[in-house]
Amino acid sequence: MELLYKSTRGKEEAVTASKAILQGLAGDGGLFVPEEIPGLDLSMEQLAGMSYQETAYEILKLFLTDFTEEELKYCIRSAYDEKFDTEAVAPLAKVDGAYYLELFHGATIAFKDMALSVLPYLMTTAAKKNNIQNEIVILTATSGDTGKAALAGFADVPGTRIIVFYPKNGVSPIQEKQMVTQKGDNTFVVGIQGNFDDAQSGVKAIFADKALKEELDRAGFQLSSANSINIGRLAPQIVYYVYACAKLLEEGELAAGERVNVVVPTGNFGNILAAYYAKQMGAPIGKLICASNDNKVLYDFFQTGEYDRNRPFILTTSPSMDILISSNLERLLYRIAGADAEKDVELMGALEKEGKYRITQQMKEQLEDFCGYYATEEEAAAVIAGVYGNTGYVMDTHTAVAACAYKKYTKETGDETKTVIASTASPYKFARSVMEAVDAEKYGGMTDFELIDELSKISGVEVPKAVEELRTAPVRHKTVCRASDMKKTVREFLGVE
Ligand SMILES: *Cc1c(COP(=O)(O)O)cnc(C)c1O
C-alpha cells in the first residue's frame, strides 16, 4: 500500500515519499507528514537478530513506499558502510545505570550522520525516479552539526550542490573548522551575522519565494533541504530507536514486552520526534523525555502548553540545541490536533506574528508520553565530571544535558524504567567545554588540539579521523554575509543574477 505525504498546512496535494524528499518543505510552507504512521510488520523478537542495515530496510520500506527494494537496499548499503567506525553503527554503552545510544560513530562524529549519510542517496534516487533534469541545490541552515554532516554527505555527489549557512559566532571552533575546510567543488559554506534562528528563517524564506523558484528553474536548478524538516531525514532517524530496543532485547537487558524510556537532547525536535514515531509504530518505548539547555522553550511548553520564543537567545556549550523555534514540533502539533491543518496554520501564524501560541487542553492531554526537563550550564558540566569520575566514561555537552534531565526525571518521579539516552555527539567535537567541565583549572589554558590529546588520554578513546584531519586541513570557505543577504548570496553562488 502506498503511503503518501501531506503538508501540515493542508494546502497541497498529498505526494509520494520521493517527491516529499525532493521538495523538502511543502509549497504552502508546511512540513510533510505521512498520512498515517505505519506499524512495524515484524515482532521485536524478529528484529532482535538483525543488523543495523537490515533494521533500516525494515523501517524505511514502510515509510518510503515508492522506492523499490533494490533502491532502498542500495541507499542503505552505500550509507552505513565503513564511514562508521563500528559495525554496530549505533552501539549502546551501559554506563551509570543507563544505556547511552551512541549516535556519533559516522563521518562527522555527530548524530546527524545517522540520517545525512543516507539522504544524498535517497535524494538522487528520488530525482531519477521523478525524471528530474535540474541540478538539485541543497540549502541548509545549521546550528553546527547538520552543516558538516550534510556537506560530507553531498560533497561531489553528481547532480547536486550544497549551500550551508551557519551562525558565524554560534558554533564551536571544531564545528567551524570542520565546515570551512570542507572539500568538494559543489560545496559552499557561509557564516552569517546572526544566530541559528536567523539562518533557519532565512532558508525558509528562500524556499517560500515562488519567483525565485521559477527563476532558478529556468537556470536549471531546484532547491531542496537537508534539514530535519525533510522527511528523508526523519525516517532514517526512527531506525536507531527500533534498533536500540531490539538490541536490548537480544542482549537480555530488556524482557519481552518491557518498555524503555528515552531521553533526547533536543533542539529542532527532529530526533525526539523520530523516537515518538518509533513508539507509534509499536517499538516498546515508554516516556519520551525532552531535554533542553538554558534555551528551555520546550521545557516551558511541556509544562504550560504555551510555546513562547520571546526571550533572549542564550549561547551555551551545547550549541546544537541553541534554538528557540523548534521546527519539527509542527509535525507533533498537527498530529495532536487530529490532523487539523487549519489549527496548524493558526498556531504557526501566531508563532510568526507574536512569537508564541497556546495549544488547547485537548491537545495538551495527548502529550502525556512526553515530559520536559532542562539543564543549566553548571548542571550539565557537573554531570560530565560526575559520570567521568564514577565510571571513566566521557560524554559530550549535549549528551550531558540529556543525562542531567534523566537524573532530574528519576529523582522527581521515582520512575525506575530502564532508559536509553540519545548520545548525540562525540566529546571530541566539543573538547574544550568537555575538558573544562572535567577540570577547568588543569585544562583551561590549553589549545584546542592539546585538549583533544588530553581527552584521548583520559577517555582511552582514540582521536577520531574526523578530528585528526582538521589539524592540517586548509580553510577553503571564507564567505560571511548578513542574515538579510542570504538570498543574494545564493544567487551569486549559482550565478543567477
Ligand atoms: C542537532 C543536534 C541536537 C538536536 O537535535 P534535534 O533533532 O534538532 O532536536 C542535539 N545534539 C547534537 C549534538 C546535535 O547535533
User: Does any ligand 1 atom lie closer than 6 A to the CB of residue 106?
Assistant: no
The alpha carbon of 267 and the centre of ligand 1 are apart by a number of angstroms equal to: 5
Burial of 49 (0-12, 13-18, 19+ CB in 10 A): exposed
The vertex-280 CA angle with 22 and 144, nearest 5°, equals 50
424 C-beta closer than 6 A to ligand 1: yes
283 Cα to the center of ligand 1, angstroms: 22
Cβ of 331 closer than 6 Å to ligand 1, yes or no, is no
Residue given cell 505521512 in the structure block: 34
Taking CA atoms only, the protein residue closest to ligand 1 atom 15 is 145
Nearest to 166 by CA among 137, 197, 143: 143
Q: Is 228 in the pocket of ligand 1 (CB under 6 A)?
A: yes
- Residue 68 has a pLDDT of 98
CA trace torsion 165, 464, 80, 119 (10° rounding): 0
Nearest Cα residue to 239 out of 34, 17, 53, 56:
56
pLDDT score, position 208? 87
Cα–Cα dist 133/478, whole Å: 31
Pocket test for ligand 1, best of 101, 102, 145 (most atoms within 8 A of CB): 145
How many angstroms does the Cα of residue 118 sit away from the middle of ligand 1?
17
Q: How far is the CA of 216 from the centre of ligand 1 (A)?
A: 31
Instruction: Report pTM.
Output: 0.94
Specify the pLDDT at position 172. 84
Q: What is the pLDDT of residues 297-344, one digit of tens each?
A: 999 999 999 999 999 999 999 999 999 999 999 999 999 999 999 999
Distance 228 CA to ligand 1 centre (A): 10
| Residue 425 Cβ < 6 Å to ligand 1 | yes
CA 16 – CA 6 distance, rounded (Å): 9
Q: Ligand 1: distance of its center to the CA of 321 in Å?
A: 6
Residue 143: predicted pLDDT: 82
pLDDT score recorded for residue 215: 95
Q: Which atom of ligand 1 is nearest to the CA of 271?
A: 7
Low-confidence residues of the chain, pLDDT below 70?
none
* pLDDT tens digit sequence for 241-271: 999 999 999 999 999 999 999 999 999 999 9
**Atom 1 of ligand 1: nearest residue by CA position:** 320
Using the mean position of ligand 1's atoms as its centre, give its distance from the Cα of residue 295 in Å: 13
Atom of ligand 1 nearest to the CA of 269: 9
Q: Which atom of ligand 1 is nearest to the CA of 104?
A: 13
pLDDT at residue 228, as a whole number: 84
Contact 48, 19 (CB under 8 A): no
Residue 229: predicted pLDDT: 87
Which one of 196, 321, 325, 327 would you pick to mutate in the ligand 1 pocket, going by the greatest count of ligand atoms within 8 A of its CB? 321
- Check residue 22 and give its pLDDT: 94
- Report whether residue 397 contacts ligand 1, using a CB cutoff of 6 Å: no
**What is the distance in A from the centroid of ligand 1 to the CA of 471?**
25
C-alpha distances in angstroms, 354 versus 306, 307, 329, 349? 12, 11, 17, 8
| 112 ligand 1 Cβ < 6 A | yes
Ligand 1 neighbour 160 (Cβ under 6 A): no
Question: How many A from CA of 85 to the centre of ligand 1?
Answer: 20
